[in-house]
């Protein structure tokens, strides 16, 4: 269970999150909606341990994400959290294959053949198996987004935090990605927290949270 309690975050003296509580259990596939600038990406980054809260707790079970040292946190993130960045954070000069590999290459407990098998399987799931050797530079926005999705799933994380994962996709492709998330949720109990502006995407999750004026509402 990934949970936050009383999380506060300010930037330059302006408080964006005013003490937020949220629990994401194995059984959950949830979404977060809210206006641009309301703090959705900030919330996700804090939950992933990418950003420290000013106050409050960030816990994964007994593990304290909010205070763990950087090495412990990096190891935890690698194995447990799949993160889809709003701006993808891919390496444009590398191929699709190598960008997905970047998600898993530090894992010593997964052998090379298994890494390659997962990359191939995910490329098929997101519809990019014929583009694996293409440089990311040459891809469309929606294709890049699907590379970022594949990279986030390659470690078979227990939790996926997805920042507008379908924002660049047409509705049919977006539905395909949501169906993939739902299959993973049902098969492996992967929990998902999905930031979206799209009411139809949010409606496919079991629970919709809304951020407004620094508060989270269910």
Ligand X SMILES: Nc1ncnc2c1ncn2[C@@H]1O[C@H](COP(=O)(O)OP(=O)(O)OP(=O)(O)O)[C@@H](O)[C@H]1O
Site for Mg ion in 86-105 (CB under 5 A): 86
State yes or no: residue 41 binds ligand X (CB under 6 A).
yes
State yes or no: residue 218 binds ligand X (CB under 6 A).
no
CA Rg value for the chain? 17
Least CB distance from residue 2 to ligand X, whole Å? 18
One of 2, 20, 33, 39 touching ligand X (CB under 6 A): 39
State yes or no: residue 53 binds ligand X (CB under 6 A).
no
- Distance, CA of 125 to CA of 115 (rounded, Å): 15
Give the full edge-to-edge strand order of the sheet including 63-64: 14-24, 2-11, 55-60, 63-64
Pattern 48-87, Mg ion, x by CB under 5 A: --------------------------------------x-
Least CB distance from residue 43 to Mg ion, whole Å? 9
Least CB distance from residue 44 to Mg ion, whole Å? 8
Nearer to ligand X, 12 or 140 (CB): 12
Strands (E), the chain: 2-11, 14-24, 29-33, 55-60, 63-64, 81-84, 159-163, 191-195, 207-212, 215-217
Which listed option, ligand X, Mg ion, none, makes contact with residue 37 (CB within 5 to 8 Å by class)? ligand X
State yes or no: residue 41 binds Mg ion (CB under 5 A).
yes
Taking CB atoms, the residue at the shortest distance from Mg ion is 41
- Distance, CA of 177 to CA of 179 (rounded, Å): 5
Is residue 112 helix, strand or coil?
helix
Query: 9 with 205: CB under 8 angstroms?
Result: no
């Amino acid at each position: 269970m990934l949970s936050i309690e009383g999380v506060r975050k300010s930037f330059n003296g302006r408080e964006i999150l005013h003490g937020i509580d949220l629990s994401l259990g194995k059984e959950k596939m949830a979404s977060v909606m809210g206006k641009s600038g309301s703090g959705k990406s900030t919330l996700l980054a804090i939950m992933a341990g990418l950003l420290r809260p000013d106050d409050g707790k960030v816990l994964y079970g007994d593990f304290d994400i909010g205070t763990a040292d950087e090495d412990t946190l990096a190891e935890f993130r690698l194995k447990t959290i799949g993160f889809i960045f709003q701006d993808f954070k891919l390496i444009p000069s590398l191929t699709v294959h190598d960008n997905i590999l970047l998600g898993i290459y530090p894992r010593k407990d997964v052998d090379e053949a298994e890494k390659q098998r997962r990359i191939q399987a995910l490329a098929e799931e997101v519809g990019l198996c014929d583009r694996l050797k293409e440089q990311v530079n040459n891809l469309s926005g929606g294709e890049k987004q699907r590379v970022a999705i594949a990279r986030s799933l390659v470690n078979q994380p227990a939790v996926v935090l997805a920042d507008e994962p379908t924002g660049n996709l047409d509705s049919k492709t977006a539905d395909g990605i949501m169906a993939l998330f739902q299959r993973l949720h049902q098969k492996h109990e992967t929990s998902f927290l999905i930031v979206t502006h799209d009411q139809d995407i949010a409606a496919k999750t079991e629970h919709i949270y809304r951020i407004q004026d620094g508060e989270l509402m269910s």
